[in-house]
Amino acid sequence: MNSITCRLPGFLLHLRTVWLLLLLAAAPVGVQAQFNYTTNNGTLTIVQYTGPGGDVVIPDTINGLKVTSVGSQAFFQANTMTSLTFGTNMTTILLNAVFQCPALTTVTIPQSVTNIGNGPFVDCKGLTTISLTDSNAFYVVTNGVLFNRSQSYLIEYPGGVGGTYTISDIVTNTGEAFIGNSLTSIAVNPTNAIYASTNGVLFNRNFKQLIAYPGAALGSYTVPNTVSTVVSASFEFCTGMTSVTMGTNVTSIGYAAFYDCSAMTSITVNPSNAFYTTTNGVLYDKTRTVLIQYPSGLPGTYVIPNTVSNISDGAFGDAFGLTSVVVPNGVTNIGFEAFYSCINLGSVTLGANVRTIQQAAFFYCPALNSIVFPSTLASLGFEAFADCQNLSSACFEGNAPTDGGSVFFFDSSLTQILFLNGTTGWGTTYDGILTTPGTTCGGLAPTLTITALGPDVVATWPATFAGYTLQSTANLASPAWSTVLPSPTVVGSLFAVTNAVSDGARFYRLMQ
């Protein structure tokens, strides 16, 4: 009845090219002019638009076969497309068929369409007009909004229409209709039995589920204490939000709840909340073992705390300001789309105990140019580092991990993979890329700098090198190395340890 069930793990909004590549593997693909397509039982499905944009018309037929469907994300970031008209043989528009097309203003749907998936036109912030013939037996457009024929299912609110929208009393399902909206307020007819609204935010009737936040609302927001569930994608693409505070009783936060909130620099949690906490604006579970969400707008280098063992799905997704990340030795799993589309992420240091890097974990990180995989790595998920077009160096310190497929797809700069002598499981290629043995993954040793500062001595090394311990000894001939306390702190882009100057000479080293 409500939108909490509309996004299923494994087939979510951000699975950009995954659906397309799986489809291409399952059926022969054809190409004509601006469209890639597959054939099924004598009809065609458009799976990718490759044209120049402008006014796009999907043809009724290609090579004599009817074009009957458009696949999920077939129009992915078609940035110059201004209008889209579906052909007269079209019956099916799959979920998220049109995704992030900012110049798109008008969509025209024919009478023939009988099946439209969730969120068919996601985050198209220029879309103001959805046209549909009145004779369509399954769908209707009312006041510019797309519904099923009975108007119980609100399918798509056009992303370019702002102001306030009021959900009628007969709506029982909003699906993904408000993802990427430009509203300042979402209201609900008081007699609606499923939904309610307060302060312009959409909830279920008893205010226990926060379902959708108005995308153009500015500033900070505090989730009410009545809320136990923040629904998946409920704040996604809210470009004006700067910070959010979780209420006392939030027990569940859905996938991509705060994805791509480009101005958000801080997430805080009521200290009385038993399930979540934050440190420096980053959201964790209460024990700080799971990193749940890094605010998209928080800039610079981030050193993940040593308590963390799991980086959850989508945790850093679309973190545009993130330039460098240090993954500590405690982390064993990096989740699905964990660093998806971190376009300025130039440096990634993986801790010594990472075992799994899940599907699309670092998909589209174009600033990343090198990566070293630790000896513990056991598996790399499908498209884990795909579309990292400047990635030119990949080195594996351990045995060959399971290849989930297309790990380095479209990484045009990566022509060779290095693995260390003595490791096993390597062939002449890995993921279709030539391999070569070597003695070391170069450039791994941090530079230790010792500086006298008044009565103190300060030891520093780059914060991109996690998991190192500073040790000292008074005698190099018969050294007795001991750990230097206190533990290092992060100062800018450096780890730093400050101690009082002691009598006599001391020698320092870093150990991992």
- For the stretch 456-485, pLDDT in tens is 788 887 775 666 788 888 876 667 888 888
The pLDDT of residue 507: 75
Closest to 187 in 3D by CA, of 157, 225, 160, 149: 157
The whole-number average pLDDT for the span 408-419 is 95
% the chain with pLDDT above 90 = 78
Instruction: Please say if the pLDDT value at position 24 is more than 70.
Output: no
pLDDT in tens, 146-166: 999 999 999 999 999 999 999
The whole-number average pLDDT for the span 310-317 is 96
Preceding peptide of 214 cis, ω within 30°: no
pLDDT band at 170 (very low <50, low <70, confident <90, very high): very high
CA dist 423 and 375 (Å) reads 9
Token reading at 141: 């457009």
Q: Compute the 3-state secondary structure of the chain and give helix, strand, coil in percent, each to the nearest 5.
A: 0, 40, 60
The pLDDT of residue 11: 34
Handedness of CA 213, 238, 314, 15 (dihedral sign): positive
Lowest mean pLDDT among 189-198, 350-359, 449-458: 449-458
Token reading at 375: 């000896």
Q: How far is the CA of 169 from the CAs of 72, 144, 154, 255, 510, in angstroms?
A: 30, 17, 12, 28, 66
Residues facing residue 76 across a β-bridge? 99
Q: Among all chains, which residue has been given the structure tokens 């998946």?
A: 232
Q: How far is the CA of 433 from the CAs of 89, 192, 428, 430, in angstroms?
A: 42, 57, 8, 5
Instruction: Please say if the pLDDT value at position 14 is more than 60.
Output: no
Residues facing residue 31 across a β-bridge? 36
Handedness of CA 77, 123, 44, 134 (dihedral sign): negative
% the chain with pLDDT above 70 = 90
Token reading at 58: 């999907």
Token reading at 308: 């963390």
- Report which secondary-structure segment, H or E, holds 191: none
The pLDDT of residue 1: 35
Q: What are phi and psi of 246, to 5 degrees?
A: -80, 140
The pLDDT of residue 8: 32
The whole-number average pLDDT for the span 360-383 is 97
Give me the residue spans of the domains in the chain.
449-511
Q: Mean of the per-residue pLDDT values for the chain?
A: 90
The whole-number average pLDDT for the span 202-226 is 97
- According to DSSP, residue 8 is labeled B
CA dist 455 and 68 (Å) reads 77
